[in-house]
Amino acid sequence: MAVEASPLFGPESGGGEMTLMEHLKELRNRVMVSAVALLLATLVSFYFWETIIGWLLVPAREEYDPNFGLAVFGPTETIGVLFKVGLYGGMILASPVIVYELLAFIVPGLTASERKMLLPGLLGVVVFLLAGMAFAYWIILPASLGFLLDFGGDNFNPLIGAKQYMDFALQIIFWVGVSFELPMVLALAAKLRLVRARQLLSFWRYAVIVIFVIAAVVTPTPDPLTQSMVAGPLLLLYFLGVLFAWALQPKRKTEETGS
């Protein structure tokens, strides 16, 4: 069995083919590159763990208590929290390499003009990821903490564990960042002829339901405030994705001529 292959950003290959074994070796190499990038990025995050944790505590200290601190309930909890902070930081820092390697493997058969669009696409992935994380850090996280920690008034005196707080903050920031990739996903699907902009637009009623489900999954809280703050921007990003899909989808005449 042979698999057609061409370089991702280079010139067209001379009609060469890859055997199944060569294709699997390529997959192994790309996984290894991604793993090395993740390892190095995680080590960098470990090195700056105090700075990262300080950043993550700022929203609680600004919205709830300037002296807000975290409690540790076991001798191994601290190192577990540091490992999680390093891993999430590593995934964020290594995400451009991981996305590049993924695209290089799954779309090797694009034309030269289509491959040139992948570099701006990769930049778009990074921009939307950072935008989503910034939105989560500056908007969602402070509002959620202000609401949840003050809920119940003077009847409760919150003693927040380090693990619980970091799980809460990291999950919101990371997964909201990932969910902001929605326009890029829709644009890629349209470019690969999997869907058309008109179909996406007609699907908007179902998209609202799906988006609220996604918001419920990416937010680790049951309160409707946090979920609505995630779902609202995602709905706007869906229509932005429809616009991207309209701009990038192959024209009907082009498809008919190519067939």
**Tell me: the pLDDT tens digits for 156-205?**
777 899 999 999 999 999 999 999 999 999 998 888 788 999 999 999 99
Tell me the per-residue pLDDT of 10-32, one tens digit each, with 9 for 90 and over: 444 444 566 778 778 888 999 99
Whole-number Å distance between alpha carbons of 96 and 70: 32
- Specify the pLDDT at position 2: 45
Tell me the per-residue pLDDT of 201-227, one tens digit each, with 9 for 90 and over: 999 999 999 999 999 888 877 778 888
Closest C-alpha among 148, 136, 41 to residue 97: 41
Closest C-alpha among 130, 224, 237 to residue 173: 130
Burial 175-214 (b: 16+ CB within 10 A, else e): bbbbbbbbbbbbbbbbbeeebbbeebeeeeeebeeebbeb
pTM comes to 0.82
H/E segment holding residue 19: strand 17-19
| Residue 133: half-sphere exposure toward Cβ, Cα within 13 Å | 17
Start-to-end CA span in the chain (Å)? 25
